[in-house]
Amino acid sequence: MVKPDFYGVVNGEEIQVILPQASEEYGPISHYLLIVVPEDKSNLHKNPDQFLTEEMIKEEMLSTRHDRIDLSNAPYIAAMFISRNIPYTFHLGSGDTYQNFTNKKLERYKRYRIFVRAVVDTPQKHLYTSSPFSEFLSLDMREAPRGEVLYLFHLLMLIYANDNNLRYHNDQILTINIKIRKFILTLILVIKDSFGWL
């Protein structure tokens, strides 16, 4: 799974990001978690797999019950997406709730990293894969692009994201598909580079 990617700041309050999808080589995906890690000295050297889902849920429950506990820099789950219903773009910091997880408002002048965790539907319930961290994100980054080029970019991203859902039974089809995906990804990167969407 690739890392989530920055797309642009929306209205100075939210950050639009591009979310990756996992393969289903180890079984069907039960759900995805979008995890936000505010910048903090205590977690700078950790990798995504070191952030345990159960601990984040416990900390969130504690902060809800006890107002005095400061967890402003604690990692949290911003959203859960059931099965393969993960969107290809997402507005981080909207304040909306996704499967009982709050996509908390973002603080100005604070930096965040995010990653996506895909949980496999198995009896063990502990089989998952995590994406790498995104780059550091903040509300003072560039605005999200607009216009016709944006439409083309969205269309290419939609094709690229939906392509991950397909299963292939023929090696020749898979080889052709990989070439098409590489071409689409190259077009996406050219559009981003040409308009300074980095």
Instruction: Write out the residue range of the structural domain in which residue 172 sits.
Output: 148-194
Answer yes or no: is 67 within a domain: yes
Answer yes or no: is 140 within a domain: no
CA distance 82 to 92: 18
Per-residue pLDDT of the chain (198 residues; tens, 9 = 90+): 899 999 999 999 999 999 999 988 888 999 999 999 999 998 899 999 999 999 999 888 776 665 556 677 899 999 999 988 899 899 999 999 999 999 999 999 999 999 999 999 887 767 899 999 999 999 999 998 775 556 566 666 666 555 554 444 444 444 445 566 667 777 777 666 666 554
Residues 101 and 172 grouped into a single domain? no
Q: What are the tokens at 86?
A: 């993960």
Answer yes or no: is 143 within a domain: no
Residues 114 and 177 grouped into a single domain? no
Starting at the edge strand that comes first in sequence, how are the strands of the sheet with 76-82 ordered?
Answer: 76-82, 29-38, 112-120, 128-130
Answer yes or no: is 137 within a domain: no
Q: End-to-end CA distance of the chain, in Å?
A: 20
Number of domains in the chain: 2
| 125 Rama sector, left if φ>0, alpha if ψ -120 to 50, beta otherwise | left
Stated pTM of the model: 0.74
